[in-house]
Chain A
Amino acid sequence: MSALTISNLRVDIRGKTVLHDIDMTLEPGKILGVVGESGSGKSMTALSVMQLLPRGSRWSGEISVAGNDLALMDEPALCQMRGRDVGMIFQEPMTALNPVQNIGDQVAETVRVHNGASRREAMTIAREMLDRVGLPAENFPLDRFPHDLSGGQRQRVVIAQAIALRPKILIADEPTTALDVTTQAQILDLLKQLVRDEDMGLMLITHDLAVVAGLADTIAILKDGEVVEAGATHSVFRGMRHPYTRALFSASAHVPARKRGPEPAKTPVLSVADVVRDYAQPRRNLFAKRPPFRAVDHVGFEIFHGENVGLVGESGCGKSTLARAVLALDPLQGGEIRLNGHVFSSAGDGPHPELRARMQVVFQDPYGSFNPRHRVRRLVTEPFHLVKSSLRGADLERRIDRALTEVGLSSSDADKYIHEFSGGQRQRIAIARALIIEPALIVLDEAVSALDVSIRAQILDLLAGLSDRLDLSYLFISHDLSVVRAITDRVLVMKAGQIVEQGATESIFENPQHPYTRKLVAATPSLEAALAGGRTGHEERINP
């Protein structure tokens, strides 16, 4: 008997159909990959199985968990089903745990709420489960609180909760999207082991084809609430019968065409020399001095005209701190940053913001980085505050027009408000805002991380084209190695505040020298490797 059967599932939310005719089956001990872009209905499918659809939803069709038809169950029976027959893991481990309850109680709760076990019995099971997910007693006693744990560790606690009663089905909704590549590889590894050892069926929901490619036995590709293609992973990957599947693949593996590589031996746009950034940590006791934490430790590099340089590393390695220092948002404790040969920021005499016009930035979140009450016209002209030039009337209009057309928007968009645009269009507006002042360097801080693969491919093309045409340089910061590989000429690998390796992008990825770089590269799920037919990508075990 299948662990899970979904047939003809249709879900309407307030009259709008979000899922049509979904059919899926999941066998015990197997992994079903559910792939799609945002809005494709993959999370709604999961929530239908959990019967935790948002208010105002109606569903029809058939969902049966281990042979039990969910339509015939009342709410108490559904509560019994959740957690006992179906466990679920979520995307955001930082917020998925109750901050005021210790991890032992939270894992034990799954047990207590279902079989009325005593606290002691439940705690024993909680201990076993935490051991099982790789959180041993000596470092992770039951009375630790979520705020003491890293994202990957919290995700392990969420997994422990979900598997505490050895459910037949485990649903993982983007379980590794918020995690670093190395942590992602560990968590995926753990899930794979659990499926094998406990004979659970795993529904793995993701936007990342490379993640399912190495893991799933069968996959279903969703678009606009419909399954466009489904079947055994290798046959779907080989056949790619549906045009959307092909589009998704080509977008995932997209490498933007660059007209030329960097020409060496030119003057650097940006030179970072021996930069140090310290943070004051909380006091250890009342009268102690706040101990410094060195987030950036004597870092030096250069970026040349028209060159795209990537900066990669795990979270907490100092990437963002370095980016802030490069942008002269924070004072330096050592070293110097020069822009076009002029001192932009130095330890001695602080940042020189008058040079800021030559360097612009695009951030990750296309929703949070605009004032919703301003029109696009005003949003994109913001950088003009940095220069004294009084661009007015027709000249200003021409500049707005040019910036918007450069990024693929039209001049009529200048009078719209930001809520009228999609995420990808907003990121184009952010790029227009950076471009309008004709900077020499743009810092792209996870600028495509929040975008769907197809949109991401378009934005990467746009960035590559702009760099070629306008002789722009980028500092491209990302945790996503495949994107960095696609767009950059040279890459810097950062670990614990230091640059441990740097070099031409291809040679770093093909032939990493530093053990840390090797670890990162090995942990990155590879679509190519998966397509080549092997179940690689995660085969190499990474030990924490």
Chain B
Amino acid sequence: MTAYLLRRFISLSLSLVAASLVIFLVMEAVPGDPASFMMGINADPAAVAALREQLGLNEPLPLRYLGWVAGLLQGDFGVSYTYRVPVSELIAERVMISLPLTLYALALSTLIAFPAGILAAARRNSATDLSVMGATQLGVAIPNFWFAMILVLVFAINLRWFSAGGFPGWDAGILAAMKSLTLPAIALALPQASILARVMRSSLIDTLDEDFMRTARAKGLSRSQALRRHALRNALIPVLTIIGLQFSFLLAGGIIIENVFYLPGLGRLVFQAITQRDLIVVRSVVILLVFAVIVVTFLVDLAYAAADPRLRRRR
């Protein structure tokens, strides 16, 4: 068990190092000098040179990489070229929206997908199964920004249950904040839930056909007991993989939904930073996302080990 986790931990740490190198080099290779961009087109070359010096852009590449990594380790992401504030502050503000939104959407998606997938698998080829499969097909097909607009029309404009957009801040109270994240979370969750339900169904159907399910029935378990006690845990592994991937995707992939609902999240931050050549923000957000993906991957590995004793085998 420990060996398995240690191996996973080391390999993930190495991926993090590799990713940081790639991100750093790619950002270096991108054309456009941040200093001249910040000073404007008509800037005095001497002033640009001074700014370059001040930003540390003249130092040799390896030193700058090491300096950047050392900063990262202390939580210092550098100073935004455009906003002139520490990037860590910018990101922290946005993460406070994107992370809860992602978790909210993921929770919704799981809560919808599990029962739907299990029901469909348990009653394979029945009317229930067909309708669940039809609904998920639709859920995958509908673009989520369109669905988001429908949600706004119905629940914000007509029913007035929710506000149409914006975020009051966590100071306004958890309930108010969560309320403003509800419609975006639903919009994000819909396609994810559809995918997850389909994975859950097919994984469970495969498991239900396994020999050990027949053994369970021969021991006297009813169909539903056998499903609950023997099939679910075995069917979970592919589902966990998808949940892990969905988390990483949602964290930064909510940009369209953030725009529809005017939410100042990570997606919008990185979008703005790209248009403004604020490379240091882009770089920081990207490395943060990589870090998040790696942490989630590690958590998924932990979950695998919990679900499947074959991975815990001492070697």
In the complex, identify which listed stretch (A93-101, A405-413, A499-507) lies at the interface while the others stay far away: A93-101
Residue B234, interface by CB 8 Å: yes
- Inter-chain contact B315/A283, CB cutoff 8 Å: yes
With an 8 Å Cβ cutoff, the count of chain B residues facing the other chain is: 27
**A110 to B, closest residue via Cβ:** B219
Is A390 interfacial (CB 8 A cutoff)?
Answer: no
Interface mask (A73-91 → B, CB under 8 Å = 1, otherwise 0): 0011001111110011010
A100 touches B234 (CB 8 A): yes
Bound Cα distance from A50 to B309, whole angstroms: 31
Q: Mark B278-314, 1 if CB is under 8 A from A, else 0.
A: 0000000000000000000000000000011110010
Cβ of A79 and Cβ of B308 under 8 Å apart?
Answer: no
Q: Is the CB of B308 within 8 A of A99?
A: yes
Considering the complex, give the chain A residue whose CB is closest to the CB of B309.
Answer: A145
Residue total for A at the interface (Cβ-Cβ under 8 A): 37
B210, B218, B229, B309 pick with most chain A CB within 10 angstroms: B218
Decide: A98 and B234 in contact? CB cutoff 8 A. Answer: yes
CB-CB under 8 A from B210, the residues of chain A are 95
Give CA–CA (A40, B230) in the complex, Å.
31
| Partner of A90 from B214, B220, B229 at Cβ < 8 Å | B214
Does residue B171 face the partner (Cβ distance < 8 Å to A)?
Answer: no
Q: Is A88 touching B3 in the complex (CB atoms < 8 A)?
A: no
Q: Does chain B have a CB within 8 A of A533?
A: no
Whether B315 lies near A75 (C-beta < 8 A) is: no
**In angstroms, how far is the closest chain B Cβ from the Cβ of A96?**
5
The answer to whether B217 touches A96 (Cβ under 8 A) is no
Q: Does the CB pair B219–A83 fall under 8 Å?
A: yes
Instruction: Please judge, given known A-B contacts A83-B218, A113-B221, whether A99 and B310 are in contact too, CB under 8 Å.
Output: yes
Q: Are A100 and B309 in contact (CB under 8 A)?
A: yes
Question: Binary interface profile of A, 87-120, with partner B (CB < 8 Å = 1, else 0)?
Answer: 1101010011111111000000110011000000
In the complex, whether B10 has a CB less than 8 A from a CB of chain A is: yes
B19 to chain A minimum Cβ distance, whole angstroms, is 22
CB-CB contacts below 8 Å: A55-80 with B = 75-76, 79-80
Verify if A260 is at the interface (C-beta below 8 Å from B): no
Which residue on A lies nearest to B215, using beta carbons? A96
Q: How far does the alpha carbon of A286 sit from the alpha carbon of B314 in the complex, in Å?
A: 12
Contact of A82 among B211, B220, B229 (CB under 8 A): B220
Residues in B neighbouring A374, C-beta threshold 8 A: none
Q: Pick the contact of A109 from B221, B222, B233 — CB < 8 Å? A: B221
Contact A82 B218 (CB under 8 A): yes
Judge if A285 is at the interface, Cβ distance under 8 Å.
yes
Bound together, the chains give a CA A99 to CA B214 distance in angstroms of 14
Task: Tell me if B's interface is mostly helix, strand, loop or mixed.
Answer: helix
Residues on A facing B (Cβ under 8 Å) = 50, 52, 75-76, 79-84, 87-88, 90, 92, 95-102, 109-110, 113-114, 145, 147-148, 158, 161-162, 282-286
> Contact between A98 and B220 (Cβ–Cβ < 8 Å)?
no
Q: How far is the CB of B210 from chain A (nearest CB, A)?
A: 6
Whether A75 contacts B222 in the complex (CB less than 8 A), given A52-B214, A99-B308, A145-B310, comes out as yes
From residue B170, how far is it (CB to closest CB) to chain A in Å?
40
| Cβ-defined contact, B219 with A82, below 8 A | yes
- State the CA gap A101–B219 with chains docked (Å): 15
Q: How far is the CA of A204 from the CA of B212 in the complex (A)?
A: 20
Q: Which of A95, A109, A145 is B219 in contact with, Cβ under 8 Å? A: A109
B218 CB contact (under 8 Å) in A50, A75, A101: A50
Query: What A residues does B315 contact at CB under 8 A?
Result: 282-285
B159 within 8 A of A: no
When distances are taken between beta carbons in the complex, the residues of chain B under 8 Å from A75 are 222
Bound together, the chains give a CA A158 to CA B214 distance in angstroms of 12
> B12: CB under 8 A from chain A?
no
Chain A residues with Cβ below 8 Å from B313 are: 147-148
Question: In the bound complex, how far is the Cα of B219 from the Cα of A158, in angstroms?
Answer: 10
Q: Is the CB of B310 within 8 A of A79?
A: no
Pair A99/B221 contact, Cβ less than 8 Å: no
* Cβ-defined contact, B216 with A98, below 8 A: yes
Q: Is B15 an interface residue (CB 8 A)?
A: no
Judging by beta carbons under 8 Å apart, are B218 and A162 in contact? yes
Interface string of B222-264 (1 = CB under 8 A from A): 1001000110011000000000000000000000000000000
In the complex, what's the smallest C-beta–C-beta distance from B116 to chain A, in angstroms? 22
Q: Is the CB of A158 within 8 A of B234?
A: no
Which A residues touch B221, using CB under 8 A? Answer: 79, 83, 109, 113
Tell me whether B309 and A147 are in contact (CB under 8 A): yes
When the two chains form their complex, are residues B212 and A95 in contact, meaning their CB atoms are under 8 A apart?
yes
A161 touching B219, Cβ below 8 Å = yes
A98 vs B239: C-alpha distance in the bound complex, in angstroms? 18
- Can you name 27 A-B residue pairings with CB atoms under 8 Å? A50-B217, A50-B218, A82-B217, A83-B218, A83-B221, A87-B218, A92-B211, A96-B211, A96-B212, A98-B215, A98-B216, A99-B308, A99-B310, A100-B309, A102-B309, A109-B216, A109-B219, A113-B220, A113-B221, A113-B225, A145-B309, A148-B313, A161-B215, A162-B218, A285-B3, A286-B3, A286-B7
Verify if B6 is at the interface (C-beta below 8 Å from A).
yes
Minimum distance in angstroms from A505 CB to a CB of chain B: 36
Contact between A99 and B218 (Cβ–Cβ < 8 Å)?
no
Contact mask for chain B residues 148-168; partner A; CB cutoff 8 A; 1 contact, 0 none: 000000000000000000000
Please name all residues of chain A whose beta carbon is closer than 8 Å to the beta carbon of B3 when the two chains form the complex: 285-286
Q: B212: shortest Cβ distance to chain A, in Å? A: 5
Q: A96-B211, A100-B234, A286-B7 are in contact. Are A83 and B308 (CB under 8 A)?
A: no
